[in-house]
Amino acid sequence: MSAAPLWQAFRSAAAEAWAGGAGALLPLGFFAGTCLLVPFSVGSKAATLSAIGPGILWLALALASLVTLERVFQADVQDGALDLWVQLDQSLSVIAAIKTLAHWCVSGLPLVLLTPIFAIMLQVPADDLVPAMLAYALGGVSFFMWGGVAAALAASVARGGLLIALLALPFYLPAIIFGALALNEGLGGTAILFLAASTLFSLGVAPAAMGAALRLAAD
Amino acid sequence: MQDTVLVKGHQLSAIRGERILYRGVDVEVRGGEAILLRGSNGAGKTTLLRQLAGLSEPQFGSVVRTGDHHWIGHANGLKAHETPRAHLSHWARVWGSAARLDLVLERMTMVRPADVPSRMLSAGQKRRTALGRLLLVERPLWLLDEPFNALDTGGQALLSTMINEHRERGGAVISAMHGDIPIEASREVTL
Amino acid sequence: MISYLANPKRFMSMSSWAIPVGYGLGVLLFAWSLYRGLFVVPADAAQGGDIMRAMFIHVPSAWLCMGLYAALAVSSFVWFIWRHELADVAARAIAPIGAGYTALCLATGSIWGKPTWGTWWLWDDARMMSVLVLLFLFMGYIALRAAMENRQKAARAGAIVAMVGVVNVPIIRFSVDIWTSLHQGPSVLRADGPAMADVYLYPLLIGFLGQALIVAGLVMALMRAEIYRQRAQVLLTRRLQEA
């Protein structure tokens, strides 16, 4: 099995994420907008904000991942590219996982890198930033993998966006829980290990489901 | 390659919803042949082609393919942001093709719009780009779904020539088609 | 037994007597357990007095909604591997009943919780959270099936999401347990703990058995309805094509 198709899958998905109607900026804007609304909805007291800031960032991250995922596979179904991917010798599950990870690199990773700015705005203590970013990166991968399963299932459905959210959100729970705990415990605690384990689990299980769902979407 | 069976569909059936589209269809294609799938709209031409390509699993029956195949579907497979050159170079790399892109583009007379994003191309230009994939790697079987759609006379003549050359090399074509047939078919399957 | 029943004809003849038996026996057992629970057993003041009698609905519904999700996953798996049409008909029938029981479990839990814990809803209780997640899994399953254009696709999509769901349930449950163990609020009463007196346990188990029989009857009735619907559809389209 040559690596060229995998690399091309990554490249084309990343290019599509960049190109598709300000695709990469969309989740960033959504993320920023969500964070912006928080002080207005819960009050601007520094103590309140620093208590809930990390949690708000988790929520914004989870929702922002859903915004991008709708198009990951739906576009492939509509423009016929999925038919070509399905007919490759390579495992469709691996291709699907790589495409999802490419979308994470384009629209999930920038959110992680921007986290410090929003974290400081939301009064999160500066010492917590490194574990927070690590946790957001791990959790983001898990969000994208489960969201990718939901997106693949909803790919053949017109207006699948809300369906994706309904399907994916229960699977976001472990990453949210362990991630939030990891922020309290820091890098020394066990929660970050559980978070990493749940992300690994998603990397192991979700691709098979994505592959099966995409075969269904192509049928 | 002549006379070897490239794809064999045995007792294929398709059910759409609760309705039987067709049943008990046998298709066998050998090198050098061109098979036309005929039938009215909704008769299941596309479905049969997709079953032969392995895209749809038949509810009954089986498909055996002995070699690689090219697929040209209703949708061209182009991304809105993709240029013809990018599209062809992408699939050339995926398939490990050694074909020269500039020659392929020239053959498809797509040199001038080669760097225009496909959302700005006409339907015929998009189709020519998709058909360019046939020239990237040599594959014995071509599965074409209404390939002449959207093509102008020049494009139709070009595709007919490509199909004839492919058959002379021992390749085979299965094509769903309605209306006039610009190619000489060895057999027709009517659904 | 599954492969024996996978034949729709055998299923139809079996279910035609199994459904009334299930309903009849189930209602009898359920009625007896309700009578014991509501009028005979003493109220336990530590569990909120008379309101603890909600247990005889609440606890069986909690077991049933988990059992129904497991059944959904198993029939999805059977359909996905062997493509027994009847397994999909079963999955399709189980989902709405499972969702209903999950909602019932949450509602009775809330009603019981208000006087006992002083609140309708307790985010710190792992069991409540798990059942809530189950409700979302059922709703996602139903919504996905409803969105698919044809039955074959709906069956495949439903099977995938049910199987993905069931492998995730232990992890979700584990994470929720960890979370609640850190947030332990007011002491949560364990109504179904092993220390329960026999006087409560027997009506509870009998009531569960009764409700399980009623549910089995309901599932089979919905399956029959679906089989009839499919047959009617076939006849209708055949007539349309002949016309």
Contact in structure between A87 and B71 (CB atoms under 8 Å): yes
pLDDT at C191: 47
Lowest mean pLDDT among A207-211, B6-10, B119-123, C110-114: C110-114
The three-state (H, E, C) secondary structure of B59-102, written as one string: CEEEEEECCCEEEECCCCCCCCCCCHHHHHHHHHHHCCCCCCHH
Q: Does B57 touch chain C (CB under 8 A)?
A: no
Q: What is the pLDDT confidence band of residue C187, given thresholds at 50, 70 and 90?
A: very low
pLDDT at B22: 86
Q: What ipTM does the predicted assembly reach?
A: 0.91
B1-8: average pLDDT: 76
The closest of C202, C221, C220 to C210, measured between CA atoms, is: C202
Percent of chain C with pLDDT over 70: 88
- 3-state helix, strand, coil split of chain A in percent (to 5) is 85, 0, 15
Closest alpha carbon within chain A to B52: A87
Task: Give the position of tokens 């080669």.
Answer: B114
Asked if C237's CB is within 8 angstroms of B18's CB, the reply is yes
DSSP string of chain B, one letter each residue: -BT-EEEEEEEEEEEETTEEEEEEEEEEEEBT-EEEEE--TTSSHHHHHHHHHTSS--SEEEEEE-S-EEEE-SS----TT--HHHHHHHHHHHTT----HHHHHHHTT-SGGGGS-GGGS-HHHHHHHHHHGGGTS--SEEEEESTTTT--HHHHHHHHHHHHHHHHTT-EEEEE--S---S--SEEEE-
Asked if A78's CB is within 8 angstroms of B75's CB, the reply is yes
pLDDT at C201: 82
Asked if C233's CB is within 8 angstroms of B18's CB, the reply is yes
Contact in structure between B45 and B39 (CB atoms under 8 Å): yes
The Cα C58–Cα C35 span in angstroms is 15
Q: What is the pLDDT confidence band of residue C136, given thresholds at 50, 70 and 90?
A: very high
Chain B positions in Cβ-Cβ contact with residue A219 (cut-off 8 Å): 50, 55-57
Print burial letters for B140-166: b (CB count within 10 Å at least 16), e (below 16).
Answer: bbbbbbbbbebbeeebbebbbebbeeb
DSSP C189: P
Residue count (chain C): 243
* Sheet of strand B34-38, all strands in order from the earlier edge strand to the far edge: B69-72, B141-145, B172-176, B34-38, B187-190
Residue B28 Cα distances to B10, B60, B63, B65, C156, angstroms: 8, 17, 10, 10, 30
Mapped onto helix, strand or coil, the DSSP state of residue C44 is strand
pLDDT at C27: 95
**Which chains contact B through at least 3 pairs of Cβ atoms less than 8 Å apart?**
A, C
pLDDT at C183: 57
Q: What is the pLDDT confidence band of residue C114, given thresholds at 50, 70 and 90?
A: confident
- Judged against a pLDDT cut of 50, whether residue B85 lies above it is answered with yes
Q: Does B16 touch chain C (CB under 8 A)?
A: yes
Q: Does C137 touch chain A (CB under 8 A)?
A: yes
The three-state (H, E, C) secondary structure of A9-76, written as one string: HHHHHHHHHHHCCCCCHHHHHHHHHHHHHHHHHHCCCHHHHHHHHHHHHHHHHHHHHHHHHHHHHHHH
The set of residues, in sequence order, having a beta carbon less than 8 Å from that of A27 and lying 6+ positions away, is A64, A65, A67, A68, A107, A108, A111
Q: What is the pLDDT of residues B133-174, one digit of tens each?
A: 999 999 999 999 999 988 999 999 999 999 999 999 989 999
Task: Give the position of tokens 């423009």.
Answer: A79
Q: Does A156 touch chain C (CB under 8 A)?
A: yes
**Which of C143, C171, C174 is nearest residue A163 as measured by Cβ atoms?**
C143
- Name the residue with higher pLDDT: B173 or A186: B173
Contact in structure between A23 and A72 (CB atoms under 8 Å): no
Asked if B16's CB is within 8 angstroms of C237's CB, the reply is no
Question: Which of A10, A71, A79, A86 would you mutate first to test chain B, the one with the most B CBs within 10 A?
Answer: A79
Gap from A30 CA to chain B (nearest CA, Å): 23
Asked if B15's CB is within 8 angstroms of C237's CB, the reply is no
Question: Which of A157, A193, A199, A214 would you mutate first to test chain C, the one with the most C CBs within 10 A?
Answer: A157
Residues of C numbered 42-101 whose beta carbons fall under 8 angstroms of chain A's beta carbons: which are they?
Answer: none
Contact in structure between C65 and C101 (CB atoms under 8 Å): yes
Contact in structure between A57 and A37 (CB atoms under 8 Å): no
Question: Which of C83, C84, C88, C152 would you mutate first to test chain B, the one with the most B CBs within 10 A?
Answer: C152
pLDDT at A181: 86
Sign of CA dihedral A201, A204, A207, A210: negative
Q: What is the pLDDT confidence band of residue C24, given thresholds at 50, 70 and 90?
A: very high
Q: What is the pLDDT of residues C44-97, one digit of tens each?
A: 766 767 777 888 888 899 899 999 999 999 999 999 988 888 999 999 999 999
Contact in structure between C110 and C120 (CB atoms under 8 Å): yes
Contact in structure between A92 and A9 (CB atoms under 8 Å): no
Closest alpha carbon within chain A to B97: A4
> Exposed, middle or buried by CB within 10 Å (0-12, 13-18, 19+), for C198?
exposed
> Exposed, middle or buried by CB within 10 Å (0-12, 13-18, 19+), for C120?
exposed
